[in-house]
Amino acid sequence: MKIDPAKIQRVFVRAPNWLGDVIMATPSFARIRAFLIDAEIVCGMKRGHHAILSGTRSFDRLIAVDKPRGLGELWRQARLLRQHRFDLAILFPNSLSSALVCLLAGIRYRFGYVNGRRFLMTHGVRAQLLARKDRKRYGPRREPVPMPDYYGGMLDALGMPKIGPEPILAVSEPERQAASERLRSLGVVAGTRLLLLNPGASFGSSKLWAPERWARVADELSESVPGPVAVVVLVGPGEEALAKAIRAAASSDVKLAIDPVVPLDEMKAVVSAASLMVTTDSGPRHIAVAMRTPHVVLMGPTHPGYTARNLDDAVVLRHEVDCGPCHLKTCPLDHRCMTKIQPDEVVAASLAQLERGKR
């Protein structure tokens, strides 16, 4: 499908559902904007994710669009979209529901990956699936292509000029001021090296690491890093108990950013100010990528191929296990993919990242 930009007036872009995927899609968002420069472009995003795109210019408006639960919600979303009279829908999720909503909304052109939903799409491309001999009972079914490339490959079929794969996030001065005030409230004074721990993962418990291991990393970094150091734990809503468990297990002064938790717009500025982030394979990991903050990633159940792009500032710690990568949200076994990651190797990687410094 080749698009004549002059004939497209209103575009609906359905963003990915996971925060990390949204961030990895930002180069593609910018690419759509640059190509359809005169069109009105509206982005439908999961409720709560809007703030991550504050200050970016890819969209004219953002609307909340969650995964429909039941026919009533599906029709409600379709009616909402129908009001906008979109000419074109570009769908980043691979779900049936995202395509069905756009069909019911009367959007003339519906574009995205068509695997399993060709009858709902007017145009699209097929994702490359793994050969059957390479598939496991659980885990990836499609070729593990880095998500920036996966999204970019979709847009190639629309004839859009390419841009680089680096994520695009903006940090405003008010967001920096809010982050500074937050850090001051936690006792982080000027001249202190800020070390962030991001132990949560909305994906599920399979990505989590034991609180006592996080505490040991915090203690050893507090003792080993020269000069004033502040270790701050970031978590998302509902993960406050995890942060408290880490502080309870630590002997050092671990600070918790939980009262309230740091919102996404402010989190960009906090991560930008940090010397290091140690993180699960979750959304904030990709904020560190965008901010060029050195980071260490603890990766367990997911295939590294999906995020194997923009790794200049990353050290990814991962151990091969016979049951992985499974992509299950809850481990049915002994969680070996995460328990094999030892605090000592996390500390060693963290110190190496700090020695390298922020580029």
CA distances to 13, 106, 334 from 77, rounded to whole Å, are: 14, 12, 41
Q: What is residue 31's predicted lDDT score, i.e. its pLDDT?
A: 97
Segments of the chain scoring below 50 in pLDDT: none
Give me the amino acid identity at 216. Answer: R
294, 358 contact by CB (below 8 A): yes
Q: What is residue 51's predicted lDDT score, i.e. its pLDDT?
A: 97
Q: Which structure tokens are listed for 236?
A: 């998302």
* Contacts of residue 141, Cβ cutoff 8 Å, sequence gap at least 6: 129, 130, 135
Return the CATH fold of 5-156.
Rossmann fold (3.40.50)
Q: What is residue 3's predicted lDDT score, i.e. its pLDDT?
A: 75
Name the residue among 269, 267, 249 with its Cα closest to residue 258.
267
Q: Which structure tokens are listed for 65?
A: 């669009």
Distance CA 286, CA 27 (A): 13
Q: What is residue 323's predicted lDDT score, i.e. its pLDDT?
A: 95
Whether 5-156 and 173-356 share one fold: the answer is yes
Name the residue among 180, 184, 161, 162 with its Cα closest to residue 171.
180
Q: What is the largest CA-CA distance in the chain?
A: 63
Return the CATH fold of 173-356.
Rossmann fold (3.40.50)
Cα angle at 135 between 281 and 26, to 5 degrees? 35
Q: What is residue 140's predicted lDDT score, i.e. its pLDDT?
A: 83
Q: What is residue 62's predicted lDDT score, i.e. its pLDDT?
A: 97
Please report, for the chain, the start and end positions of each structural domain, with discontinuous segments joined by +: 5-156, 173-356
- CB atoms < 10 A from the CB of 178, how many? 17
Q: What is residue 85's predicted lDDT score, i.e. its pLDDT?
A: 96
300, 206 contact by CB (below 8 A): yes
Q: Which structure tokens are listed for 136?
A: 């496991």
- 346, with CB counted inside 10 A (0-12, 13-18, 19+), is buried
Peptide bond into 332 cis (omega under 30): no
- DSSP for residue 58: S
CA atoms within 13 A on the CB side of 12: 32
